[in-house]
Amino acid sequence: MKLLKHYILLSFFAAFLAAGCSIQKNPVTGTTRAFGYSWSQEVQIGKEVDPEIVAQFGLYNDDNVANYVVEIGETVLEQSHLRRPETESHFRETEFTFRILDSPVINAFALPGGYIYFTRGMMVHLSNEAQFAVVMGHEIGHVAARHSSQRALRQTIGQIAVIGGAVMGQEIFGLPGQTILDLSSTAAQLIFLSYSRENERESDNLGVEYAAMSDYDASEGAALFTSLKRISEMHDQNIPNFVSTHPDPGERERAIPEEASNWKDQGYEQSTRNEERYMELIDGMVYGEDPRQGFAEDGFFYHPDLAFQFEIPVGWSLINQPSQVVLLSPDEDAVSVFRIDSESGTPQQSVRSVTSQDGITVVNESEALSSGSWGAWVAKAHAALEDGTPLTLQVYAVDFDNNIYRFLSYTVRDNYDSMEPGFNTATESFDRLTDSGKLNIEPVRVRAFRAERSGSFESFLPDPLPGARDALEIAIINQVELDEQIEQGRWLKIPVQ
């Protein structure tokens, strides 16, 4: 949980966006067809959802990386169908936004209307600028072909309308479903649901086309899908091609070099790889979860930057997000959401900002004291879901170091008595973090360097690996085998702490 102060009202239900119908051009094919939204609506959707994405996942705080993503994004975009002379002006004049998200998940995705996102987890798994350009082209291709709007049209009234996707698909590497707790339904669908296999194949081809026309060695894009295939096999999550909405990584691994060869036959040399520049860029990038933003260990959640801690109820799972921490009961039938409340000046105000909402009835409320030191206010209240299912809430806010922190915990009413001890475990244990080892913890970072000797890849790994990493995992981010011979001078990426 980063220091991200924003206030979002309690909401128990999400509203789905209804799709309309618009007859417009497809910039890629040049043909006129029906879409779920007009182009201006697509741009507006992206504009409205982008702040949610930034709030949910956070931006990676490195200006060099951010500027690089914009630079390569604009370079590849210039070769896309959206920037060609024959394309209508309202497409050509649409501005794009390129962002790097502070997330370890291996992902890249696009919102309609020109919003492209890469995670640092994706950046670490790429090994040169050519690979980056192909993935960038893939995401621009989703926007150019208007895949979200095509999918929206196929949804019946009353169903989820806006469908989005990521380069590898949620089925294998997506974020936990619980992470949509703080997203609108539009944002959730754009991130977590998938494009069709046909859409993905088209975007793969467009990614190769746009990268090749930018003089990048587009065949390099296959290496990413080799890595994705290896990761799925490592975690025993290999999904058969015929049941996945995305093409199988192995299929994409084979198809991309063939498509790149076709563009070479048309005169596009594709000579640029820029390995050194890319490796120098990611040297020092955070690898995996950043403990400075909070981490769970030995039954407690610790936040070094904000210097607090609280106990995790036994058996409960924890999801740490930039804007909140979510605790889930073992059967996922109770939830506690912890975040900073930047709108309230006191714990009592924070609690009542929730309990005063329509449909919520306070049972009791009182002063409290967290860990015997920090002034707090707690309330128990009743509410109900739209279908009438009764809920019981516990709202607990505590004043600590000039911030108001609030736990919003709830479950169905019949379960409340059995869940309340778990809620209390977290709230009553909230306290200052004083352990210097935890306060001073640093994240694992990527060290990119040229090998000073020859030897097997495994011989370059430190013992032990930081953060209990798996040696195969490190081989995969280097796109090599563990026993592969590394020649002197080859670039390597090794996590260090």
What is the maximum span of the chain, computed from C-alpha positions, in angstroms?
76
Joined together, the tokens standing for residue 391 give 């809920």
Give residue 279's Cα distance to chain centre: 22
Identify the domain boundary among 282, 303, 323.
282
Question: For the chain, what percent of residues have pLDDT higher than 70?
Answer: 84
4 assigned to some structural domain = no
Q: How many domains does the chain have?
A: 3
Looking at the DSSP bridge assignments, the partners of residue 30 are none
Could you list the pLDDT tens digit for every one of the 497 residues in the chain? 544 333 222 332 233 333 456 778 888 988 887 777 889 999 999 999 999 899 888 999 999 999 999 999 999 999 999 999 999 999 999 999 999 999 998 999 999 999 999 999 999 999 999 999 999 999 999 999 988 877 765 543 233 223 233 343 332 223 333 333 455 656 655 655 457 788 889 999 999 999 999 999 999 999 998 998 898 888 764 443 333 445 666 788 899 999 999 999 999 999 999 999 999 999 999 999 999 999 999 999 999 999 999 999 999 999 888 888 999 999 889 999 999 999 999 999 999 999 999 999 999 999 999 999 999 999 999 998 877 889 999 999 999 999 999 999 999 999 999 999 999 999 999 999 999 999 999 999 999 999 999 999 999 999 899 877 899 999 999 999 999 999 999 999 999 98
Which of 282, 314, 348 lies at the terminal end of a domain, its last residue?
282
Give yes or no for a contact between 72 and 132, defined as CB atoms under 8 angstroms apart: yes
Q: Which residues pair with 338 in a beta bridge?
A: 325, 407
CA distance linking residue 360 with residue 463, whole number of Å = 55
Cα dihedral 464, 467, 473, 478, rounded to 10, equals -80
434 with 455, same domain?
A: no
Express each pLDDT in 77-134 by its tens digit: 999 999 999 999 999 999 999 999 999 989 999 999 999 999 999 999 999 999 999 9
Residues 224 and 367 in one domain: no
Q: Domain range spanning residue 483? A: 445-496
Both 450 and 435 in one domain: the answer is no
| Same domain, yes or no: 409 and 453 | no
- What is the dihedral sign for C-alpha 128, 131, 135, 141? positive
Tell whether 78 and 212 lie within a shared domain: yes
- Residue 195 falls inside a structural domain: yes
Residues 78 and 143 in one domain: yes
31 and 121 in one domain?
Answer: yes
Residue 191 shares a structural domain with residue 58: yes
Asked whether residue 5 is domain-assigned, the answer is: no
Residue 93 forms part of a structural domain: yes
The answer to whether residues 218 and 208 touch, using CB atoms and an 8 Å cutoff, is yes
Rounded CA-CA distance 92/297 in Å is: 50
Pair 234, 91 in one domain? yes
CA–CA–CA angle 207, 209, 210 (5° rounding): 70
Is the residue at 429 inside a domain? Answer: yes
19-29 tens-digit pLDDT = 456 778 888 98
| Contact status, residue 112 vs residue 42, Cβ threshold 8 Å | yes
Please check whether residues 389 and 434 belong to one and the same domain: yes
Give the pTM: 0.82
Is the Cβ–Cβ distance between 493 and 477 less than 8 Å?
yes
**CATH code where residue 296 lies:** 3.40.1000.10
C-alpha–C-alpha distance, residues 229 and 238, integer Å: 7
- Kindly state the tokens that stand for 378: 């707690």
Same domain, 152 and 242: yes
Return the closest-CA partner of residue 38 out of 54, 57, 25: 25
Assess whether 185 and 139 both reside in one domain.
yes
With respect to residue 13, please indicate whether it lies within any of the assigned structural domains. no
In a domain, 8, yes or no: no
Find, among 165, 424, 442, the residue nearest to 284 by Cα: 442
Q: Is residue 1 part of a domain?
A: no
The tokens of 409 are what? 């915990």
Last residue within a domain, chosen from 439, 461, 479 = 439
